[in-house]
Structure 1
Amino acid sequence: MHFALTDEQHMIVQTVRDFVTAELYPHEDEVERLDDVPPDLARSIRQKAVASGLYAANMPAELGGGGLDGLSMTLVERELGKASFALQMLVARPGNILQACEGEQRERYLLPAVRGERHDCLAMTEPGAGSDIRSMSTTAVRSGTDYLINGTKHFISHADAADFVVLFAATGTEDTPRGPKKRITAFVVDLDAPGVTVRRGSAAVSHRGYHQCEIAFEDCRVPEAQRLGAEGAGFDLMSEWLGASRLTVAATSVGRARRVLDMTTEWAATREQFQQPVGRFQGVGFQLADSVTELEAAELLTLHAAWKLDNGGMTDRDAAMAKLYASEALGRITDRAVQIYGGMGLLAELPIERFWRDARVERIWDGTSEIQRHIIARSLLRPLGA
Structure 2
Amino acid sequence: MNFQLPDEIALVKQNVRQFVEQEVEPVAMGVEENDEIPERILQMSKELGLFGLSIPEEYGGLGIGMIDRCAIYEELGRTHNGFTSVIGAHTGIGSVGIVQFGNEQQKQKYLPRMASGEWIGAFALTEPSAGSNATNLKTTAIKKGDKYLLNGCKHYITNAPIADLFTVMAVTDPSKGAKGITSFLVEKNLPGFHVGKKEKKMGLRGSHSAEIFFEDCEVPAENVLGAEGGGYVNALKILANGRAGLAARNLGSSEKLLEMSIAFANERVQFGKPILEQQIIQHYLAEMALDIESLRWLTYRVAWMVDQGMNVIKEAAMVKLLGSEVYNKVADKAVQIHGGIGYIAEYPIERFYRDARISKIYEGTSEIQKNIIAAQLKKQYL
- When normalised by structure 1's length, the TM-score is 0.93
1:251 alignment partner, one of 239, 248, 251 = 248
2:247 and 2:257 map into 1 onto residues whose CA distance is 15
Amino acid at match of 1:343: G
Matched, 1:301 2:298: yes
Which deviations, in whole Å up to 9, do the C-alpha atoms of 1:119-150 show, x marking residues without a partner?
A: 11110000110111110101001222211111
Give yes or no for contact 1:171–1:182 (8 Å, CA) kept in 2.
no
2:270 and 2:178 map into 1 onto residues whose CA distance is 62
Higher RCO, 1 vs 2 (CA within 8 Å, ≥6 residues apart): 2
The RMSD of aligned alpha carbons is: 1.8
Give yes or no for contact 1:306–1:314 (8 Å, CA) kept in 2.
no
| CA positional deviation for 1:69 | 1.2
Matched, 1:65 2:61: yes
SS of the aligned residue for 1:82 comes to: coil
User: 1:25: which partner in 2?
Assistant: 25
1:302 and 1:57 map into 2 onto residues whose CA distance is 17
- When normalised by structure 2's length, the TM-score is 0.94
SS of the aligned residue for 1:243 comes to: helix
Amino acid at match of 1:32: E
Give yes or no for contact 1:101–1:110 (8 Å, CA) kept in 2.
no
User: 1:234: which partner in 2?
Assistant: 231
2:346 alignment partner, one of 344, 349, 360 = 349
| CA positional deviation for 1:357 | 0.2
User: 1:198: which partner in 2?
Assistant: 195
| CA positional deviation for 1:80 | 0.8
Matched, 1:213 2:201: no
2:200 and 2:320 map into 1 onto residues whose CA distance is 25
1:280 and 1:194 map into 2 onto residues whose CA distance is 64
1:376 and 1:276 map into 2 onto residues whose CA distance is 46
Give yes or no for contact 2:167–2:185 (8 Å, CA) kept in 1.
yes
1:135 and 1:90 map into 2 onto residues whose CA distance is 27
* Structure 2 gap segments, 5+ residues each: none
2:9 and 2:178 map into 1 onto residues whose CA distance is 45
User: 2:163: which partner in 1?
Assistant: 162
1:88 alignment partner, one of 81, 84, 92 = 84
| CA positional deviation for 1:47 | 3.0
Listed as ranges, the matches of 1:298-337 within 5 Å are 298-337=295-334
1:77 and 1:315 map into 2 onto residues whose CA distance is 19
2:287 alignment partner, one of 264, 287, 290 = 290
Give the percent of matched residue pairs that are identical in Structure 1 and Structure 2. 37
Give yes or no for contact 1:186–1:234 (8 Å, CA) kept in 2.
yes
| CA positional deviation for 1:159 | 0.5
Moved more, 236-245 or 335-344: 236-245
1:2 and 1:143 map into 2 onto residues whose CA distance is 51
User: 2:36: which partner in 1?
Assistant: 36
1:239 and 1:86 map into 2 onto residues whose CA distance is 24
Count, aligned residues: 377
SS of the aligned residue for 1:217 comes to: strand
| CA positional deviation for 1:384 | 3.6
User: 2:180: which partner in 1?
Assistant: 183
Give yes or no for contact 2:59–2:107 (8 Å, CA) kept in 1.
no
The change in CA–CA distance for 1:89 and 1:380 in structure 2 (over 3 A counts) is: closer
Amino acid at match of 1:372: Q
Give yes or no for contact 1:125–1:155 (8 Å, CA) kept in 2.
yes
User: 2:75: which partner in 1?
Assistant: 79
